[in-house]
A = this chain, B = another copy of it.
C-alpha cells in the first residue's frame, strides 16, 4: 500500500502517538454528567485540546465530544452538558499533536458491538498499537481514527468472549504499553491500570457514588473523598451492587512514571501516596544541596512550573525567593511577528523579566526540566538582557535524554538537548548560563521518598532520564509501519 492510497488530506498521518490525557468517571449519581464536567476542569492541565463526555441514562448513551477547553465545551454558557443525562458518565481531556487533533479522535470512543455498547477513555500509549492496527485492517476492520482507543475497540468487537467485561479483558491481554483506562457499559463502570502501573488512576467516593479519576485534585473539586489508588494490573468493575476487584494480567514490577512528580501532575494532587508540591519542593532542596550557587543574590523561578522547586532551593540555600520573571497568564496565543523581528518574542509573549529586581544581581534560575533547550537559552538571555550580572541555571530533574513512549508527549530523542549533548558543560555553553546543574537521579529518587535508585530494578519508570524502557516497544522495533492511517473518513 503506497502512502498515496492511504492518506486523506483531511487526516494527515499522526506520527506522534504519545498522548497526555486525563480521565474521570462517575457511577451512581443522578447528575453524573455535570460532576464529570467539573472533574475534567480540574484535570485540564492533562489535556487542553479537546474534551468529551459519554453518559448513559438507562435508555441510551449520550455523547458530547468537542475541541476546546472544558469550560468552553461544558461550561455554563454551553448546553452540551444538559444532554448528558443519567447517573453514570465517563469523560476525557486530551492533548494532541497537530495531526491528531481531529474531532474523530476525541475520546471517549463508543461502539455498539455484538454483546452491547461500550464507551472507553484512556490515558497512556500502547506500544503495539500500530502492529495490531495493521493486523486488524488485513482482517477487514475499517478504522476511522488513529487512536489507540479504537484499536482496543476493534479488539473488543472481534472478541468471542461474553459478557462485555470479559471482551475488554480479552482485548487488553493483546495490547502492550502504558494505560489507565476507564470503560462504561449500560450497567458497569470499569477501571484498569496496566500491569506496570505507569499512569495514575485513583478511586473516590461521593456519597454512594463511585469515582475514577486520573488525579485526586479532581476529587477535591466535587468534594469527593479519596479512597485509594487503583493498583497496577488491577481491574475494578463497579455496578449497582458495588465494586469488584480483579487481577486478570500476569504480574509485573511496579513502574510508576516519575515525571508525574517532576512536571505533569498538579501540585495539589496526592500521587501514589505522595503530595506532588512536597515532592517538587524536596527536589529543589536536593538540588540546593547538590548544586549550590555561592555568591548568588536570589532564587528566581521560571513560572509557574519552576516555583515549588525554587521555593525548596531558596529554603535549603537560605537565599531569598523573588518573582524575577512575571508570567502573562493569557498564554497559548501566538502572534504574527513583525518582519523586523523582536528578540525572543516567543518567550516574551509568556514571560517578562522584572527588571527592577534583576538589575545587577546574581540569580539562581530554577526550572523543572530542559527539553530541546531552545526556550531555556532564550530565558537565560532574557534575564541577562534585563540586567542580571550572573545566571546560574538549576534544573529540578536529571537530563532528559530519551523520548517517552508511554503517554507523555516528548519530542523525538534527536531533538532533546541532553541527547544531542552528553556533557553538562556543553549544554551550559549552549544555553549561555554562568553555571548549569541538574538534580542527580539519586537526588530525584530521594526527593520522592526512596533512599536512592535501585539500578537493577528501578522503583519508577524513568525512561526519559535513563533510557531504560520497562515495557517492550513493539511498534518501534517493528518500524511501526503498520500504523499507517486507515480510515473510513468522516468530515467534521
Contacts and interface: CB of A to CB of B under 8 A. Distances in A.
A334 interface: yes
Interface stretch (A73-81, A229-237, A456-464): A73-81
Contacts of A329: 45, 304, 329
Interface string A314-352: 010000111100101110111111111011010011001
B266 A326 contact: yes
Interface in A12-62: 29-31, 34-35, 37-38, 41-42, 44-45, 48, 52, 56, 58-62
A140 interface: yes
Report the copy number of this chain in the oligomer.
4
Interface residues of A, number: 124
A352 B140 contact: no
B31 A340 contact: yes
A243 B436 CA distance: 46
Give the most central of A10, A37, A116, A150: most B CB within 10 Å.
A10
A142 B116 contact: no
B487 A37 contact: no
Nearest to A73: B333
Interface string A98-120: 00000110100111111111000
Interface in A64-86: 64-66, 69-72, 74-77, 81-83
A10 B110 CA distance: 12
Contacts of A451: none
A52 B8 CA distance: 14
Nearest to A110: B489
Interface centre among A137, A141, A266, A489 (most CB of B within 10 A): A489
B144 A157 contact: no
Interface stretch (A191-199, A217-225, A426-434): A217-225
A303 to B, nearest CB: 9
A491 B348 CA distance: 30
A315 B320 contact: yes
